[in-house]
Chain A
Amino acid sequence: MKKDILREFAIRFGFIILAGLLVLFFSIFANGFAGPRSAVFIFQSVAITGILALGVTCTLVVDGFDLSIGSVATSALMLSAYMMVVLEQSAVVAVIACLLMGAAVGFVNGILIVKMRVPDLLATLGMMFLLIGLQRIPTEGRSISTGMRLPGGEVADGTFAEGFLWLGRHRIDLFLEKLIPVPVIIFLAISVLIWVFLEKTRHGRLMYAIGSNERAAALAGTNVFNYKILAYMISGVTASIGGILLAARLGRGDIASGNNLLLDSVAAALIGFAVLGAAKPNAFGTAIGALFVGILLQGLTMMNAPYYTQDFVKGAVLVVALIFTFALSSRVRGGSH
C-alpha cells in the first residue's frame, strides 16, 4: 500500500522535482546560472520550440500528429522575409500572411487526414516535404536579405520593418532594464491560451474525448471531423507564429535555420506526458517539458559541455520521460483493475 502511494507520488511529481533538483544543482555548480538574466535566457531559448510544441500538443490530444510544424515555421520565416524584402509590404501584412499560411496548411493537413483518410503521420510528412521544397522556389533556393539579387535580375530593396523586428528582439523592462524579450511573453501567453482552451472549455474536452475514444465521441454527437481539422489548424497557426518570431530574431530569411524545430518541439510535447503523471498530452506539461530541456542545456553549456552533445542530452531526456509515462504509469493503471 505504502509502496503504491510512493510510486503514485513519484509519477505525479517526479519530473517537476527532477527539474527543481537540476536548477539547484546548476545554481551551485555552474557559475552565473542562478539569476534573472540567466532564467530569462532559458525562457528565450525555448520560446519558439515551446510555441510549436503547444500546437503539436493539440494534434496529439485528438490522437493525431503533426510532422509538418517545423517546415510550416520555416515557411513562415521565408514568407515574412519575402513579403517585406521583396514585395516591400508592412510588418502587419507580413504577419497576417504568415498566420493565414499556417492556418491554410493546417486546414489542408486536416482535410487530408479526415476526408482523404491519409494516416496522420504520412499526411503531415508529405506536407513537410512539400513545404520544404516550396519555400525554396521563389528565391531559387537562396536566403532572403536586403540587397539580394532576385531571379528576374533586379535587386530587392525592401527591408525588415522595425515593428516586425520588435517582435523578435525587443525586451520589456521588468524590475531590471530590458529584461523580458517579446517572444517569451508570446510563449507564456500562448501557453495560457492553449491550457485554458484544452482544460477549461468544452471544445478542449471534446478534443480529449476524440483522442480517447473517437467512436464514443462521434456517437455522442461530436463533430469529430471539425475538431480534428481545428486541431491541425491550431498547430499550423502556432507553428507560423514560431516562424515569425524566428524571422524577427534573425532579421533575414535564412534558408538553413529552423532545422531542429520539429524534433525539439515534438520532444517537448512528449516530455509533457510525464509531467504531473498526466500520461496524456497536456499544455502545462508541454510548457514544462520545453523548459526542462532549456534548463538542462543552459546548465550544461555553462558547465562547458560542448554544443554537439546537446541533441544527445535532449534525446536522453525524452527517452527517460517516455519510460516515466508509459512503463510506470501504465503499471499503476493496470494494477487498479
Chain B
Amino acid sequence: MSDVACEISRLEKSFGPNQVLRGIDMKLPSGQVSVLMGANGAGKSTLVKILCGVHSPDTGHIKLFGSPFKPRSPIEASRNGVITVHQSINDGVIPDLDVTSNLLLDNLAQPGKRMFLKRAEMKARAAKIAKSVGFDADLDVAVSRLGIADRQLIAIARAVACNPKLLILDEPTSSLSAVEAKRLFEVIKTLKRDGVAILYISHRMSDIRAIADRILAMRDGQISGKFEGENLDYEGAVTAMLGQKMSDFKIDVAEGSSPVLQLSDLRLSDESDPVEITVSRGEIVAITGLLGSGKSLLSSILFGLEKPASGKVYLEGTIFEPKSPADAIYRGVHMSPKDRANNAVVGDFDIEANLTLPFTKNFSNLGFIDRKRQYSVCSDMIDTIGIVCQSGKDAIETLSGGNQQKVIVGRWLLKPCKVLILDEPFQGVDIKARRDIGGHIRATSDNRATLVFVSELDEAIEIADRIIVLHEKAIVGEHVNRNIDLSELLSQVSGNSNPLKQAEVIE
C-alpha cells in the first residue's frame, strides 16, 4: 500500500536574501492524503511551486517513484504525473471559454493533436470528466458566467482527468460549500483507492479531520511536525504549525487609560456573530486567528477599505466610518498593511521617499519637497528604529526584508496618530528585526491605541498587552497577556473550543 510516490530531501530555496525553504524532508506515500499545514509565509506555496515546476530548488533532491525529478516547467511536471490545483482559482480556468473546452484544456494544449475540433466528441469526453467529480452544469456555458465554486470544481476535474500520480490541492475547499466539499472528499477517496498520492494544503480543521491520513506541519521553511497513525494529534499539529516555542519575552502589561477605538456590535459578515472590541490609549492589542478568521477584513474596515456588514466603530467617542485610507489617515488612524512587497514598498524610491510617502504634505512647502527636513527626520527614524543602510538615499530594494519592514513600519511612526494598526508587521522578518520593530512599537505606544494583527502566536505574546482570538469572523477568546494558558489559546485559534458568547469573553 504505502510505497512512496514522492520523496523530498534537504530541499532549500532562497529568494534574494530571503531563505524561504530551509531543508525540507518529506515523503508522500501513494494512496494516502498527506495534509500540509502552515501559517502564512511558512513556505507552503514555494514548496508547491517547486513540485509543479514553477521554481527550481537551490539545493536538495526530489524523487518521484525512485527516480530523480527536476521539472523545469509546469508542463514537464504534469507529464510526469504531478498535477497541481492552485489556490487562486483563476489560474485553473479560462473564463472566456466554455466548460467543455476548459475541462479538455490539457488535452487541447498537447502537441501533435488534431488541428480541428470535433464538438460532439469533445462534449462526450467533457461530460465524463465532469461526472467524475460530480459536477453537473451546462457544458456549453462560458466559465465566466459560473460562480467561484463551480470554477473550483472545474479546475479540480481537469486535474483529475490528467491521471495524476501525485495530486497537489492548494486550499481546494476555500470557496466550496459544505456539500461541494463533501463531494470533493468522495473524489479524493476514489483517487486514494487508485493509488494516487495526494498533497492537501489546508487550514480548515474540518477538512483535515475528514480526509487526512497524515499531517505535516510546516513552519519557517521547515517541517516542524509529522503526525501519522490511527489517531491523529490535530492539536499537536496546530501547535507545530504555530510554533511550540513560545518566547520568554516579558511584557510589562499596560492597562491603558481612556478608550480610543471602540467597535460596537460590528458584524464582519451577515451571518457572523457581532464583534465588540475596545482599545485604550497606551494599550497594544493583538488580534490573532487563522487565515479566513476575519483578521484582514477587520483591518480593512478600520482603514476605510471595506464596509462592515453592520455595526459601528467609534474613534474617541465619535462615529468613525472612513471612506478611504486618506480619510482614515486624516482622522488619525494609521495602518501599515500586510504583504509589504505588494502593498507598501515603492520599489523605485529610496528609503527617505518610502518613509515619507504618506506625509509628503508635512515635508513640503507650497508643494515643494523640503529635502533638508526630510533628511533630518528620516535620519532620526533610521537611527531609532535601527535600519541597516549606508544612508537614507539607498534604494529600498537594496535592503533585506527585515530592514524594508522597518522602513514600512517607521513610515507610520513619523507622525503621531490616535490609532496605529499593524497588519502582520513581522511577516518575512528575522528575529532580530522583529525584536527591533516590536521594541520600538512598545516604546512609542503611550499616546495612542495600537492594534496588531498577527497569525503567529508568539509574535502576539511578544508585543501585546491583550490578545484577542478571532475564528470564523467572531471573537472566540480574549486574554490579558499575563501567564496565558497557551493550550487554551491554541485550541481557540484552531477553532476547537466552543465559541464563547460575547458576554463571557468580556469579563
Could you list which residues of chain A lie within 8 angstroms of chain B, going by C-beta atoms? 200-203, 205-206, 208-209, 211-213, 215-223, 280, 333, 336-337
Would you call A206 and B360 a contact (CB within 8 A)? yes
Q: Which of B122-130, B152-160, B179-187, B344-352 contacts A (4 or more CB under 8 A)?
A: B344-352
Given contacts A219-B325, A223-B326, A336-B398, contact A212 B347 (CB under 8 A): yes
Q: Closest approach, in angstroms, between the C-beta of A38 and any C-beta of chain B?
A: 37
Would you call B346 and A216 a contact (CB within 8 A)? yes
Would you call A221 and B16 a contact (CB within 8 A)? no
Would you call A215 and B353 a contact (CB within 8 A)? no
Complex: how many Å from CA A218 to CA B304? 11
Would you call B325 and A221 a contact (CB within 8 A)? yes
B116 contacts the other chain (Cβ, under 8 Å)? no
A-B contact pairs, 23 of them (CB 8 A): A200-B368, A200-B369, A201-B364, A201-B367, A201-B368, A202-B361, A202-B367, A203-B367, A206-B357, A209-B357, A212-B347, A212-B349, A216-B342, A216-B344, A216-B357, A219-B303, A219-B325, A220-B325, A221-B324, A221-B328, A221-B358, A222-B357, A222-B358
Please indicate the chain B residues that have their CB under 8 angstroms from the CB of A218 in the complex: 325
Complex: how many Å from CA A337 to CA B368? 33
Where chain A touches its partner, the secondary structure class is helix
17 new A-B contacts at CB < 8 Å, known A216-B346, A220-B411: A201-B367, A201-B369, A202-B364, A205-B353, A205-B369, A209-B349, A213-B342, A213-B344, A213-B347, A216-B357, A217-B357, A219-B303, A219-B337, A221-B330, A222-B326, A222-B357, A337-B16
Q: Closest approach, in angstroms, between the C-beta of A221 and any C-beta of chain B?
A: 4
Identify the closest chain B residue to A210 (Cβ): B346
Complex: how many Å from CA A213 to CA B330? 22
Q: Closest approach, in angstroms, between the C-beta of B179 and any C-beta of chain A?
A: 35
Interface centre among A203, A211, A221, A333 (most CB of B within 10 A): A221
Q: Closest approach, in angstroms, between the C-beta of B330 and any C-beta of chain A?
A: 8
B397 contacts the other chain (Cβ, under 8 Å)? yes
Q: Closest approach, in angstroms, between the C-beta of B436 and any C-beta of chain A?
A: 22
Please indicate the chain B residues that have their CB under 8 angstroms from the CB of A205 in the complex: 353, 360, 369
Please indicate the chain B residues that have their CB under 8 angstroms from the CB of A211 in the complex: 348
Complex: how many Å from CA A200 to CA B360? 12
B268 contacts the other chain (Cβ, under 8 Å)? no
Q: Closest approach, in angstroms, between the C-beta of B7 and any C-beta of chain A?
A: 32
Picked from B344, B346, B363, the residue with its CB within 8 Å of the CB of A202 is B363
Given contacts A201-B364, A202-B361, A222-B326, contact A280 B348 (CB under 8 A): yes
Complex: how many Å from CA A333 to CA B344? 20
Picked from A203, A212, A336, the residue with its CB within 8 Å of the CB of B346 is A212
